[in-house]
Chain A
Amino acid sequence: DAGITQSPRHKVTETGTPVTLRCHQTENHRYMYWYRQDPGHGLRLIHYSYGVKDTDKGEVSDGYSVSRSKTEDFLLTLESATSSQTSVYFCATQFRGSSDTQYFGPGTRLTVL
């Protein structure tokens, strides 16, 4: 395991409220990712980071923002949560880049009412 934790593990919130999910890694991996998992879609990339303060958008980035001020932390923010953002969110890390395996955190189940 790559020492990846996510917090919170479960969250219920209301439409329109901001939500921040945290991913913390202890492996000094350069690359970090946020995915959402929905039935029938597998995992879809939201945002990723290739270094401190370096981030880029993924396939489903609308309504999400990210920040990475330290190597070990990658934050995902839902600026104004909507019911369509109810999902399971996974963080992943990768040591060097494309030749390396991604390691996943345990996931956060988010419900937006």
Chain B
Amino acid sequence: AQTVTQSQPEMSVQEAETVTLSCTYDTSESDYYLFWYKQPPSRQMILVIRQEAYKQQNATENRFSVNFQKAAKSFSLKISDSQLGDAAMYFCAYHPTGGQNFVFGPGTRLSVLP
């Protein structure tokens, strides 16, 4: 069974600094998608970034970028120039191509310090 691990239950970062959230996953599939979702106190799940496993280039979305290491099954999220609005729970998720299930990690709670 596929699993997703986020080894950092909580992290904090100073405003304007950079922080990296870790995610590892376990799968025997070769084709899949990986996601980072953000959940602010409003509870709404918001897509941050998405990566296709067949693409070697790391995805970026403005201040958010990933470091995708397929062989190591690692998918970390880097947030640059952190802002107070980045404070939230962040979930890493795995989705196999052709499958219907998303597998979520337990989440990392990020605090941004002014």
A106 near B33 with CB under 8 A, answer: no
Chain B positions within 8 Å of A58 at CB level: 101
Decide yes or no whether B114 CB sits under 8 A from chain A.
Answer: no
B104 near A42 with CB under 8 A, answer: yes
Q: Report the interface size for chain B: residues with CB under 8 A from the other chain.
A: 25
- Cα–Cα distance between A90 and B45 once the two chains are bound (Å): 9
Interface segment among B11-19, B65-73, B77-85, B92-100: the answer is B92-100
B43 near A107 with CB under 8 A, answer: yes
Decide yes or no whether B25 CB sits under 8 A from chain A.
Answer: no
Chain B positions within 8 Å of A113 at CB level: none
A42 near B99 with CB under 8 A, answer: no
Chain B positions within 8 Å of A56 at CB level: 100
How would residues 98 to 114 of chain B score, 1 for a CB under 8 Å from any chain A CB and 0 otherwise?
11111011110000000
Q: Which residue of B lies closest to A38 (CB)?
A: B106
Chain B positions within 8 Å of A43 at CB level: 45, 91, 93, 102, 104
Neighbour of A42 across the interface among B33, B43, B44, B91, CB < 8 A:
B91
Classify the secondary structure of A's interface with B.
strand
Q: Which residue of B lies closest to A94 (CB)?
A: B100
B96 near A88 with CB under 8 A, answer: no
- Cα–Cα distance between A90 and B37 once the two chains are bound (Å): 14
B101 near A101 with CB under 8 A, answer: no
How would residues 51 to 82 of chain B score, 1 for a CB under 8 Å from any chain A CB and 0 otherwise?
01000000000000000000000000000000
Q: Write the residues of chain B forming the contact surface with A, with a CB cutoff of 8 angstroms.
A: 4, 33, 35, 37, 42-45, 47, 50, 52, 91, 93, 95-102, 104-107
The 9 closest A-B pairs by CB, nearest first: A42-B104, A104-B45, A43-B104, A98-B97, A42-B106, A107-B43, A42-B105, A45-B101, A40-B106
- Other than the known A58-B101, A101-B47, what 14 A-B pairs have Cβ atoms closer than 8 Å? A42-B104, A42-B105, A43-B45, A43-B93, A43-B102, A43-B104, A88-B43, A92-B102, A98-B100, A101-B35, A104-B37, A104-B45, A106-B42, A107-B45
